[in-house]
Structure 1
């Protein structure tokens, strides 16, 4: 029986580590089935969530409807980059040392066919806030609505219970944001920081207006599981959004970039995306990743 990776639906953990892997070279393609077999015992779908990129699916001679590479977009004075990778692993936990050792075990299992090219630690701030101090994911669907938004409901063998995910690193200029008056900060987000209430008179550029999920046709609901990150002098939000397709996230992103009406999201006044990737999170079958949808 197939079931979704439960870590997707669970609340964000205190700590997490995101691993991004690339295929070492075309010479390594023949080793991919073996390293994926070695990976399976290390993935429970709860503490460890896995997503496959389009290049990995193609390298396995598979094809999955709806999976594509992340699009690079240029909008109203903003650029959204694509840094697509072959595999994404989301390690969830509450002990940084334990996350380190799990990451090392996964990296060893995937070598030499898949090479770790980026690793980012993230953390829960307050009760689930962005580093700007605003609550993150306020409009997340809940209960059955969350399941409907995040997971494929039916399809061929190995598709039901799967989920598509968009992953981006956003870098914040926190000094610039902190220097703004509170009223100006609220108008950028479209909510009051003090009580999280949505502003009735928020400008059209406010983030909540740019991404109002019910304002799209069809409605564009996603399940967000974003967490802050900080490394050296840089910091921001590691944005993660799960969906039954990639379409809902992409129409939101296009509107944020101003491609719909020429109005860019006010978030770009203090933050910018550094990365962007799309992945397919297979369902589970008998406690293991179900790769039948891609012919494995």
Structure 2
């Protein structure tokens, strides 16, 4: 099994999310950074080895063909699927060639690594979205509810996230979908707590989930459950709150890792289109998606096998990948 990037890690107190687009002619610089990303991480992480600094890099569909022309391609990598649902609920697709998901127990470590990454990339990449996330009390979002308590753990999380024999050249890889949601906190806080709990599908204080026979069909938890052949399909969410008090911006950065993007896409279909049609996620009446991107997260072995060479075409050490 190929060595995966650090996707499944314990929750952290801080995160920086960088989404960028690659300039024409910037492919070689990007490949060089991806190949040497582990070393860049070490230059920052050694200063505070106990604070868990990690960085996951992802590549978008269109950028994959530019970075590795003629090479193998993850079989399920495609652009983010934009959704237009009833009542104006929309999941937009927005530009994004690269994702850097940086996490640590301290924001200064995340900030420094983000600076080092962007310094290495220079003019080759334009950052089109930058979000600084923070832990909010006991893993709550800005709506006041615990977020991520249904995440699988241990071997179950690994099985949900990392590709296996179904795509041999990309074992240890993963798919990740990101969306930035902005909340109408004024409207949400005006909602009585019992109505908030009904919209989410769990008690606000205790975090106890409502029984299925009590849970509203459009509750967030109900809509985000995907069951196939009697088995619940799972993803690993690493969501973080973010905000700017002065400008009144309050949000949640959704980031969901999965072995196949089809599971997360099915959740989004149910949220924005409804299942049955029209039964959309109640939370969308208060939260608006403003970005949407899909990336492939290669294994560490894959990144190490990238060769930059003297030309801008780049290549992959495919033989070494087959041997992992």
TM-score (norm 2): 0.83
| Equivalent residue, structure 1, for 2:233 | 220
Q: CA RMSD in A?
A: 2.4
Helix, strand or coil at the partner of 2:150: coil
Partner of 2:293: 277
Q: Does the CA-based 8 Å contact 1:191-1:199 persist in structure 2?
A: yes
Q: In the alignment, what sits opposite 2:65?
A: 58
Check the 8 A contact 2:4/2:162 in 1, yes or no.
yes
Aligned to 1:3: 3
Match of 2:18? 19
1:170 aligns with 2:181: yes
Partners of 1:147 and 1:83 lie apart in 2 by: 28
Instruction: Report matched runs for 1:176-195 at 5 Å.
Output: 176-195=187-206
Equivalent-residue separation in structure 2 for 1:228 and 1:55 (angstroms): 29
Say which is worse superposed, 238-247 or 131-140, in terms of deviation. 131-140
Which residue does 1:263 correspond to in 2? 279
* Deviations 1:100-140 (CA, angstroms, capped at 9, x unpaired): 22111111111232222221100111221111111111221
Is the Cα contact below 8 Å between 2:80 and 2:293 reproduced in 1? yes
Aligned to 1:41: 39
Gaps of 5+ in 1: none
Q: Larger deviation: 31-40 or 247-256?
A: 31-40
SS at match of 2:233: coil
CA deviations on 1:229-266 (whole Å, 9 max, x unpaired) are 11232011111110001000000100111243221100
Distance 1:217 1:54, change over 3 A: farther
Cα separation, 1, equivalents of 2:280 and 2:294: 22
Whole-angstrom CA distance in 2 between matches of 1:251 and 1:115: 31
Deviation of 1:29 after TM superposition, in Å, equals: 4.1
- In the TM superposition, 1:224-263 aligns within 5 A as 224-231=237-244, 232-261=247-276, 262-263=278-279
**Contact 1:282/1:290 (8 A) holds in 2:** no
Shift of 1:155: 4.9
Change (3 A) 1:38 1:111: farther
**Where does the alignment leave 5 or more consecutive residues of structure 2 unmatched?**
43-51, 308-314, 318-324
- Looking at structure 2, the residues matched to 274 and 177 of structure 1 have their Cα atoms a distance apart, in angstroms, of 18
CA distance in 1, matches of 2:28, 2:304: 20
Asked if structure 2 preserves the Cα contact closer than 8 Å seen for 1:35 and 1:111, the reply is: no
Count the aligned residue pairs: 292
Note the alpha carbon deviations across 1:151-183, whole angstroms, 9 max, x for none.
112255651111111111111111111111111
